[in-house]
Amino acid sequence: MTDALLIRSAAAFLDEQGGVVPGQDILVTNGVITAVGPREEMASRPAAKGAKVLDLGGLLVFPGLMNSHVHFAFNGTDNVREVYLAETPEERVARALDNARVMALSGVTTARDCGSDIPVMQAMLAAADEGEAVLPNLLMCGPPITAICGHLHYMGGEATTSDEVRALVRRTRAAGARSAKVMATGGQMTPGTLPEVAAFELAELTALVEEARSLDMSTVSHCLSSEGTIRSARAGFDSIEHCAFFERTGEGWLERVYRQDVTDAIRASGSAVMMGLAASTKALEGVRATGEGTPHEHFRLAQERRMMRIFKQMADQGIPMICGTDAGTAATPFDETWREVVMMVEAGLTPLQAIRNATTIVARAMRIDHEAGAIRAGLRADLIALADNPLENPAAFRTPAWVMVRGREILSSPMTSP
């Protein structure tokens, strides 16, 4: 990476202007954007005169996407838990690094890992520090704090009291975590836990948030029930993830039952919501295409449609709806963060709203908007270039032609010239 690099393209997306602005050059110095401006103005800057020029031709430059919720050590199949438990620590690390590479090359320049054991977390952070591996910027949670035998308890984050919760937050921070996660409810991947039941009282959740804030960590709550969501909102979590409103039907199936009081609690708290519209959506592709499937598959498809309606209801009430996919869980690959943006638009947002949810707004929810999330002086040079304009076609994010993380090209475009 040269000390100074001047990036030229057909246009750049500037969030403050809410659109793609032609003729903007971006000056990058030591991995940080130091100036953005019209080509003629930038050419006259002393720092730009000695910079290497990277010409992206007719491509459009956007900030890299962000994904607030991934599991790099998982394999994205129906047997995630079984494979994870059967693997050696070395195998988990290798899988995690490979998944992170796939995600980075897909145009995601920052990702938050929402659940891994400490050896995996530390190995990934070490690889990032060495600077040779192709990775997005990593925001790691480490072992999520969970009830005894709770969701993902096998990662090592079990706690019961507020003091134990605080101690675990300190332990994960000392190990390298920059975000603290709680399993406020059970989960569908851990036998014996109940997604529709709250796992912690308000006191324990509040203790986690207070301890994390004192350590400059963002906070994230896994919530599948209404009560768990209300408690997490009252505790003041930065983001509430999944937010599924689950209740159990007579058949034992999990049904989304929208409650306005839950939305009111979230709005009052200022928390963001990651609903994960694209999570597991590929599992139902055959049912959508053919109309054939089991009664439970058709029930799940109806729940997916209901999720889209709830997403729009919450967005219309001013709740920040951030981009996250739960990549690594069943039928959720690491190269499809673009699908979340597309589905936000299908749910009723404008492309501009969806793009901001995947860049500036998610950066704010993860407390890193002072580091990244936009094309602006002082922020990391986390950039992607696209052939088409996602403000017109959000699926343009599917195939980035060029990707840069911290000023390092990890995917070069055939259109570039020296």
Residue 415 scores a pLDDT above 90: no
Alpha carbon 113 to its chain centroid, in Å, reads 8
Residues contacting 166, CB < 8 A, separation 6+: 207, 208, 210, 211
Query: What fold characterizes domain 4-64+373-411?
Result: Urease, subunit C; domain 1 (2.30.40)
> Is the pLDDT reported for residue 55 higher than 50?
yes
Averaged pLDDT for residues 35-60: 93
Residues 69-94 have a mean pLDDT of 96
Q: Which fold has domain 65-365?
A: TIM Barrel (3.20.20)
Instruction: Give the model's pLDDT for residue 418.
Output: 42
**In whole angstroms, what is the distance from residue 99 CA to residue 80 CA?**
14
pLDDT of residue 357: 98
Kindly state the percentage of the chain with pLDDT values over 70.
98
- Domain residues of the chain, as ranges? 4-64+373-411, 65-365
Per-residue model confidence (pLDDT) at position 1: 42
Cα end-to-end distance, the chain, whole Å: 14
Query: What is the average pLDDT value for the chain, to the nearest integer?
Result: 96
At 210-248, the pLDDT tens digits run 999 999 999 999 999 999 999 999 999 999 999 999 999
Instruction: Measure the CA–CA gap between 273 and 237, rounded to whole angstroms.
Output: 10
Mean pLDDT of 6-21: 97
Note the pLDDT of residue 76: 95
Question: Who contacts 372 (Cβ-Cβ below 8 Å, separation ≥6)?
Answer: 63, 64, 66, 109, 110, 137, 363, 379, 380, 382
- Of 7, 13, 5, 8, give the one whose Cα is nearest residue 396: 13
Is the pLDDT score of 189 beyond 60?
yes
**Closest Cα partner for 194 from 228, 158, 143?**
228
Is residue 160 scored above 60 in pLDDT? yes
pLDDT at 193: 97
Q: What pLDDT score was predicted for residue 224?
A: 98
Assess whether pLDDT exceeds 60 at residue 100: yes
Q: For residues 102 and 108, what is the distance between their CA atoms, to the nearest angstrom? A: 9
* pLDDT tens digits, one per residue of 209-220: 999 999 999 999
| Nearby residues of 81 by Cβ (< 8 Å), 6 or more positions away | 189, 190
Q: In this predicted structure, what is the pLDDT of residue 43?
A: 86
The per-residue pLDDT for range 270-303, each reduced to its tens digit, is: 999 999 999 999 999 999 999 999 999 999 999 9
